[in-house]
Amino acid sequence: MPETAHQYLETEATQQGQVLLPVARAEIATALGFPQQPALLTPAWLEQKGACFVTLTHNAKLRGCIGTLQAHRSLLLDVKANALAAAFKDPRFPPLAKHELATTDIEISLLSAMQAVDFKSEHDALQQLRPGIDGVVFAYAHNRSTFLPQVWEQLPDVATFMAHLKHKAGLDAKFWHEEVKLMRYTVSKHKEQAIQSA
């Protein structure tokens, strides 16, 4: 038995990853025409509603990333759908080729519930964001974007993070308006490389 609550949570996360990552890989492999083993029994928690992002990297470079911000279907269906979308429907990349799959790494980020950020100005909003912890949704009118918490690794400065988030939403880096809305969330990350070395 794990000796501490922290160890227990780490063990639980590893077990989640050991279930989720093969589901995502099998879904992509099946779509590419690889023969698959019969599916194992599905744990009950996979049938509960959940939201996730599936990120693919190839040679340590982003190869696709698609996800769901709010839970509206079972986690099992969400992982499968986002795995296929990341592999074949991310408009930034060509569809994943069959020969790429073996050297493509998969990461799944399970999202917490959204929390609105209450602020009076952009400066106030930036003061409230937690680098390395918060995933952030930026919304203004029909413009919308999000960055997972992992993006802080490339953009650790809060102002730069926000500028890139606005750019992703199709707005100027210096744009601000009183009707801007921000929401934040946290993620539980599951990476194939981490699971394999656990």
Provide the β-strand partners of residue 110. 52, 188
**pLDDT category of residue 63 using cuts at 50, 70 and 90:** very high
Three-state DSSP at 136 gives strand
* Distance, CA of 92 to CA of 160 (rounded, Å): 22
* Pure H helices in 72-180: 75-88, 122-128, 158-168
Domains of the chain, CATH where assigned: 5-111 (3.30.700.20), 115-185 (3.30.1490.150)
- Looking at the predicted structure, is the pLDDT value of residue 7 above 50? no
pLDDT of residue 8: 35
pLDDT of residue 174: 95
Burial grade of 78 (CB within 10 A; 0-12, 13-18, 19 or more): buried
Backbone angles phi, psi at 33, to 5 degrees: 95, 10
Orientation angle between helical segments 5-31 and 75-88, nearest 10 degrees? 50
**High-pLDDT (> 90) share of the chain, %:** 81
Contact 32, 86 (CB under 8 A): no
> What is this structure's pTM?
0.84
- Looking at the predicted structure, is the pLDDT value of residue 40 above 90? no
pLDDT of residue 26: 94
pLDDT of residue 193: 73
**pLDDT category of residue 194 using cuts at 50, 70 and 90:** low
- Looking at the predicted structure, is the pLDDT value of residue 198 above 80? no
- Looking at the predicted structure, is the pLDDT value of residue 15 above 90? no
Q: What is the pLDDT of residues 126-155, one digit of tens each?
A: 999 999 999 999 999 999 999 999 999 999
- State the average pLDDT for the chain: 90
Q: What is the pLDDT of residues 156-177, one digit of tens each?
A: 999 999 999 999 999 999 999 9
Which amino acid, 51? Answer: A
Q: What is the pLDDT of residues 70-118, one digit of tens each?
A: 999 999 999 999 999 999 999 999 999 999 999 999 999 999 999 999 9
